[in-house]
Amino acid sequence: MTNHVALITGGAKGIGRGIALDLAARQWRIAFCYRTSEAEAQATARDITTRGGQALGIRCDVSDPGAAKALVAQVEKEWGHIDVLINGAGPYHRINLFDETVEGWNEMFAGNLHPIFYLVQAAAPGMKARKTGRIINFSMANADQMEAQPDVTGHYIAKTGVLILTRTLAKLLAPYGITVNAISPGFIDSGSAPPQELAAMTKRIPAGYIGTIEDTLAAIRYLLSEEARYVNGANIQISGAWGI
């Protein structure tokens, strides 16, 4: 069993689950959090163990700063340190801006942007002390284009903020041997979007097909590898050229 520890938010389903199982195959210790997906979390924990890793599934709302800080502390207490923090959690809904509620608007920032600040602030001291660490934040393809987005306005602004926060964190943490990068998926068949929506989008993707979780895992593996030790503050789009 290796001593590598990863903390993945939103790790019970979709891309987060895929990352957890991929690392488990390399005998990593995987802590992951979820809010409501109890059954999926239990299944993911079992599959992590089956693939040779160790699992720690924790129910946690990382939009709560106290809960996010406690999550990091719990993982560090259990396994001594955190090598990799993957910020994959983030709610999403589609609604016209003028039909959006204050609660829905705030949820997009509280769920997609603020947790990265909370979690990195909590995890960075341990990484800085050990002079090593990898942090990967999830944005979205075309978030860097600053386009009008009438039906996903709050979500889009939050994901644009993720890119700015990623670059800022990279600059602050690079002197300590820590890399901070972003991955920006386009349309990925991860189970989060309705099949009919994915099918309708295919014709707008220059590559001509929907991406898979494996496409995202390839980028994760690279950013966690020694070959990427000098890659810091980058944003890798996994979109088949959609959104550029």
Residues with a known catalytic role: 156
Phi, psi (degrees; rounded to nearest 5) at 59: -75, 125
Q: d(Cα 86, Cα 188) in Å, to the nearest integer?
A: 18
Length of the chain: 244
46-49: long-range contacts, CB 8 A cutoff, minimum separation 24 = 47/21, 48/20, 48/21, 48/24, 49/24
Helix (H, G, I), strand (E, B) or coil at 110: helix
Helix (H, G, I), strand (E, B) or coil at 188: strand
Q: d(Cα 148, Cα 128) in Å, to the nearest integer?
A: 38
Rounded to 5°, the CA angle 148-153-158 comes to: 110
CA distances from 44 to 18, 47, 82, 135 (A): 9, 5, 20, 22
| Residue whose token pair is 């109890």 | 38
- Nearest to 112, CA basis, from 163, 179, 176, 78: 163
